[in-house]
Structures are given as structure tokens and as C-alpha cells.
Amino acid sequence: MKEIPAEYVETIISENLTSLLYFYTPLCGTCQVAGKMLTIIEELLPEIELVRSNLNYSPRIATELSIESVPCLLLFKNGVLKEKIYAFHSVPFLYDKIKEFI
């Protein structure tokens, strides 16, 4: 999963037809588990580009996108937020959500 700095989040959203952005914080244990789950999803769905950003460095983005907690996966289509996922449940759950999205 590619790490992007906060200043590139808006660029990723606007320049890609489909964007999957994962927001986390390094000291969040749940975020560590969620990150591992998303790494598995990347292996299962190589056609997706999943990027991540440390929310500690993105307070403006957190406010603009109304991110309430981490971990958070945002699914964008044509620059429009389509879904916000906070509860990652399981790899099959995430796989199904992302598969129906793409």
C-alpha cells in the first residue's frame, strides 16, 4: 500500500476515476490490523490502487471529509465520496465491499 502525504490526498481524489484512501494513525492498534487486512485485499484485487495517509498529518483533510475516527477507508468514484468504512469486520467483508465498488 502506497503512503501519500496529506498534500496529495486531494490530487489522488480528483485525478483518479476510482480512489480508495485508507486513513490511519501509527499508534492505533486497530489500524495496524486493518492495514494488514487491506494488504491481503491488494493481493486479491491487483487491479485496485489503494493508498494510505497518516491522519495525524491531515487535520484539514479529516475535517473536510468528516472523518470521525480511524481506521477509515474512503471509496471515491469520479471525485465523489461514495462510501466511508470504519468497521472493517473481516477480509471477506472488505473484499465484497470493494469488489462491488469497483
End-to-end CA distance of the chain: 17
The pLDDT assigned to 71 comes to 98
Whether residue 23 has pLDDT greater than 80: yes
> DSSP string of 59-96?
HHHHHHTT--SSSEEEEEETTEEEEEE-----HHHHHH
2-101: what CATH class?
A: alpha beta
| CA–CA separation, 48 and 50 (whole Å) | 6
Beta strands 18-24 and 72-77, pairing class: antiparallel
> Could you state, in order of their start, the residue ranges of all structural domains in the chain?
2-101
Three-state DSSP class for residue 48: coil
pTM of the complete model: 0.91
**How many other C-beta atoms are found inside a 10 Å radius of the C-beta of residue 60?**
12
Mean pLDDT of the chain: 92
| pLDDT tens digits for range 28-77 | 999 999 999 999 999 999 988 899 999 999 888 899 999 999 999 999 98
